[in-house]
Chain A
């Protein structure tokens, strides 16, 4: 037992105190940063983008499709495209994830998440989520697991993943929604008691990502049921996820 206590003492404090202002390493590829004036119209970036997230004239990146691989930035010798380490990449409307030049991080943070009174009054202190991987590659799944580890400790905000949809207030979908998972996903949604929310987590869930052209997908679920929150990333960083959900259920700190 003394060894166990010693291990505990050696670890010290590991949790991130202020999750909303947690620093991010500068290398992280997050919010797109454009300098359209530098663009020399070589269009090489369009060829290397694996998901068609990028479009030109004006320079636009759809964060719902973007895998944040940085291929466009690497190929752009003119320096028109970059990514900042800003990690709050969630929105309540699909269109809000489409970023053009001139949309600044601060604007995005202010407008992307629309706070609804019925959500904040119901879930602001406790939100239990059921996660469904529907073709997810285990990238987003590992990051969602990391949300509950000793660093990020999402449980302290009352947000937890639960084992059954019957215990859940909402579902989190990862993966491009394969044909073979379509039934189970809908079943899970129907088993979740009202009121409930649906969160799409990662480029695959939001747009199909690198699998969008696959014939083995069945994304009808997304047309049938309302989606409440889109969280961008490939995979979604734990800080992106926690801040996205917190912003949605609590609104901004005054």
Chain B
């Protein structure tokens, strides 16, 4: 199984540790992983701003980088959803379709494709799980509180395999954090207020670390936490699931 590692641009530039954890975790679970060096961005920032027509070159580039893999896996529900919903190229539609059908967000790849049932990771900490909307409602990584339907959560399922993780309950289990792409600057006041409220819910319930499947949401909440000088940290779920490996590597 050849896996193409899709590392979204802002993770590549600002959160390399998330890319490293994702790569190591997949390798540890027996995947043959490659990171195509020519990748940049999925095109979502333009598309969500109403400029989907400017994403053609990003699409072509994405197809060029990922067409030859059995699976494409990325540590971001939002970027994966964008590709799943919007990757098209009249010149390479077969390849585009292959990618749309074979791209997975990291946690769903672990639970649905690799069917991971146990992990050797250890992370003794009180953890708050932020359900990022695009992963949750777009990719159905977890049941949505609005629907009358049986609960499930792929990220939570994985976190429960990590020794020592104590998941804290939240008052609002799946409220949006307010990042929203360019929304975070164009609607700064509402975006920040949403973020403050989301962070407060985690803090109120004693979370020491806020984790999630999207670094964009985490980056937004981290910015607020750091401004508040709160001691709470944010970590991508890959960093927690991969925790053990880090410790071994350091020792």
Asked if A pairs with B, the answer is no
